[in-house]
Structure 1
């Protein structure tokens, strides 16, 4: 038998020693686990069994009820126990839950800012830009998330004074929640090298939105997320309904604004998952990043961005340390409500189109606006009706608040008849000048008294050189009935 070298003997000794220590540690852990299990069972018996024998203020073991040998396991329902609304203790400051679901709930989380506050203006805009029929389909939920509960109550009083009628009509609820229900906001990870106060702010904001979304889960068919410093387009709800109707219902998120958390639409069926998603990762990243991750996790391949935007950021200072923030959405359109009658029609132009702002945006109800460039005299924008119509009024608006110089500087409107097609493009054989544009607007009433016949085309004709681009927002017509 060969003699082992000192080094080999040392290696064998180390291996044996390691094996012995490992076995000892495993034995000790098993003993500890077994002991704790027995103690836990004993504690359960001590805590649960005596409750049946409560008498005269003393705890007595009820020995007359034998313990079952094989206790039945409790039923666990995923939809009820894991996906139902979280039992968060909300405080109702104003209003109450409606008895019936609405079409859409609008959720706004707000804290009082150090400088300018915009919440009252935002609430006013929501109500002002909705007609009575639309208001009955809406429910506005304000979540006041101030660190100091007394500040939230003061804000609630101000809301009550200004919007008492809407609260009484059931159009609005104001809620809050104690910070005792929040996860820790101290000592969080400084992802992206953010400062500690920034991490705390965005982490709390994630929880604020999660609590708000959780509350709104069963209030409506759809949920719209807004910020507390926005203004709304006139007729925004009708535009949202039209957009939803045109889409396959498999979507997760539709964006009606390009900015931040503004104008994000969700289906109520997804809200419980969204609330839990924000809570799971509340300390990881900003809320708008998490919202993007959410729709991707739900297998929506691309962002769904609706143009024009229905909501505009109007604040100048952020709620975080009153940092200057005057971002604007250049896709915002102040009115998306069709004022006249909606008629089947097609639109055509020989003006160079900017990006996706084609002529079909004007003819398609609620779709947006036309934006063209490099115009020359003789360019036209034409509306061809599906059937000949007799009109009593026409209103055409060009330009926008975002681009005030992009209106028609020189041009007139023509009416046409004898519809035809040239090179695959619809037009009319005969046109008649109706009147000129004034400061980008054209309006005529009692058209039936000026033109007795039915018409099949309306055509805008450019008559002057124009360096500025052209926005056509609305072509509204009223049919003689």
Structure 2
């Protein structure tokens, strides 16, 4: 996998942003008669309109260049084996990440987002990680870490990693200290405005909805379906964004058609205020009437944002990306995380050579009351489901790991069935099946902690199903979902 940093001169953007200072910089003709106040104001408004139009044209030009770059394989800032072009997904998740002095939460965040996704959901979702740094060595190291931990997701185009040109960011040394913030904090919030804007501009033609996240959050199991369903149901209403977390800018969902306007607003005032304040100002500009009171303004702004409960994303990072800052932010509406998914499975006697930890037994997991958590598996260990009566099963699903212990997965482990009739066992000549010991036939295996598949009619009915470990593991193993489809 080769990495290509794009070379678009984004300094054009900042050149046009300087024009926002027009009202204070219009020269007057010293040799002429002083114009009346209204005439001066009118002249300045004409200049403002002209410069505002230029800002819009410059931003549109940059958007078009970003759009073209995302469709090419050369001279681009895209870090992905397969870039999804030619179709839009329903939901795009944008995650900016920066180099932290203490601890990185990015891999855990991505693991949480990817944990319970189905294959169809993966086809309808795009996750964009924006490495908001210009040090190419660091950017490459992040891309390589993501590729190592999520090779399938990168290969399929589900995960994209992008980075800016070294020319994207302006000189931060001339920033004015405002609102009692230190120079370091003013720089941090200014850069954050630019980072979020970059992501929005890049994502605006890739899906129907765009969700802004951060690199130190966890997602609630089932977040994708809940978020998409709510956004679709509310699509006819005039909201600007939906909130799936009450914290800062986390979990804010926008229609992608609104992203150019939002990013343009952020870019025009990127030096002035924090990103969440600017978002609130957009609402004020859209609906607040200066001739009416604050109560009316608050009521009107409430129509442009809608809050979904319970929250689907929780902030977990202790160390902020702002050096030296500790964050103890927690969303009280997030609630307790579900660590397993229950199903009604056919009656069976369950057994295993694996020793379970504390009360997390195999029986409890099979009956949908808990997850199964086993101490380090060794080669030859197995889990057996011996059905009370032979069953006709259309398929199976075993999910290992959960949100809190995502690394405790089954590796090099096969799924095997025991046909109830001797005749069916002799039908193992089917090309894609292999025979195992004691009459069992291998029908599948765990891939990245998940085993899912169908069982052909030729092998039905089934007397038993088992999971067999074929090599020693370095970690414990956890089954958070057991489903025998009947």
1:324 corresponds to: 326
Matches within 5 A, 1:294-443: 294-299=282-287, 301-302=301-302, 303-333=305-335, 334-335=337-338
**Aligned: 1:234 with 2:232:** no
Q: Offset of 1:285 from its aligned partner?
A: 0.9
Question: What SS does the aligned partner of 1:103 have?
Answer: strand
**Aligned: 1:122 with 2:109:** yes
Question: What SS does the aligned partner of 2:65 have?
Answer: coil
Q: Matches of 1:335 and 1:220 in 2, distance apart?
A: 29
Q: Which has the larger radius of gyration?
A: 1
1:175–1:137 distance in 2 versus 1, CA, 3 Å = same
Question: What SS does the aligned partner of 1:177 have?
Answer: coil
**Aligned: 1:222 with 2:209:** yes
Q: Offset of 1:154 from its aligned partner?
A: 0.8
Unaligned runs of 5+ in 1: 1-21, 28-75, 342-400, 402-480
**Aligned: 1:25 with 2:31:** yes
**Aligned: 1:106 with 2:108:** no
1:92 corresponds to: 78
Q: Offset of 1:270 from its aligned partner?
A: 0.4
Cα deviation, 1:303-323, whole Å, max 9, x if unaligned, reads 421110000111111010042
Question: What SS does the aligned partner of 2:103 have?
Answer: coil
Q: Matches of 2:207 and 2:218 in 1, distance apart?
A: 22
Q: Offset of 1:79 from its aligned partner?
A: 9.2
Q: Matches of 1:125 and 1:295 in 2, distance apart?
A: 31
Contact map agreement 1:225 1:263 (CA 8 A) in 2? yes
Q: Matches of 1:235 and 1:287 in 2, distance apart?
A: 28
Q: Matches of 2:315 and 2:274 in 1, distance apart?
A: 18
Question: What SS does the aligned partner of 1:166 have?
Answer: helix
1:134–1:78 distance in 2 versus 1, CA, 3 Å = same
Contact map agreement 1:261 1:288 (CA 8 A) in 2? yes
Matches within 5 A, 1:38-53: none
Question: What SS does the aligned partner of 1:193 have?
Answer: coil
**Aligned: 1:203 with 2:190:** yes
**Aligned: 1:261 with 2:249:** yes
Cα deviation, 1:351-389, whole Å, max 9, x if unaligned, reads xxxxxxxxxxxxxxxxxxxxxxxxxxxxxxxxxxxxxxx
Q: Matches of 1:261 and 1:23 in 2, distance apart?
A: 46
Equivalent of 1:282, from 270, 295, 315?
Answer: 270
Q: Matches of 2:273 and 2:177 in 1, distance apart?
A: 10
Q: Count residues with an aligned counterpart.
A: 276
Contact map agreement 2:313 2:334 (CA 8 A) in 1? yes
Q: Matches of 2:212 and 2:122 in 1, distance apart?
A: 17
Deviates more, 1:262-271 or 1:236-245: 236-245
Q: Offset of 1:92 from its aligned partner?
A: 1.3
TM-score normalised to structure 2 length: 0.52
2:474 corresponds to: none
Q: Matches of 2:56 and 2:329 in 1, distance apart?
A: 41
1:429 corresponds to: none
Question: What SS does the aligned partner of 2:173 have?
Answer: coil
Q: Matches of 2:59 and 2:233 in 1, distance apart?
A: 32
**Aligned: 1:134 with 2:111:** no
Q: Matches of 2:340 and 2:232 in 1, distance apart?
A: 16
Q: Matches of 2:343 and 2:55 in 1, distance apart?
A: 50
Contact map agreement 1:217 1:271 (CA 8 A) in 2? yes
Q: Matches of 1:81 and 1:339 in 2, distance apart?
A: 54
Contact map agreement 1:239 1:337 (CA 8 A) in 2? no
Q: Offset of 1:181 from its aligned partner?
A: 2.1
More strand by share: 1
Question: What SS does the aligned partner of 1:192 have?
Answer: coil
1:167–1:320 distance in 2 versus 1, CA, 3 Å = same
Unaligned runs of 5+ in 2: 1-27, 34-52, 70-75, 288-299, 345-402, 404-485
Deviates more, 1:261-270 or 1:238-247: 238-247
Question: What SS does the aligned partner of 2:148 have?
Answer: helix
Question: What SS does the aligned partner of 2:224 have?
Answer: helix
Q: Matches of 1:156 and 1:163 in 2, distance apart?
A: 10
Contact map agreement 1:139 1:170 (CA 8 A) in 2? yes
Cα deviation, 1:322-353, whole Å, max 9, x if unaligned, reads 42112111111435999789xxxxxxxxxxxx
1:284–1:228 distance in 2 versus 1, CA, 3 Å = same
Q: Matches of 2:29 and 2:101 in 1, distance apart?
A: 63
Cα-Cα RMSD: 3.2
Contact map agreement 2:80 2:157 (CA 8 A) in 1? no
Matches within 5 A, 1:174-193: 174-193=161-180
1:188–1:77 distance in 2 versus 1, CA, 3 Å = closer
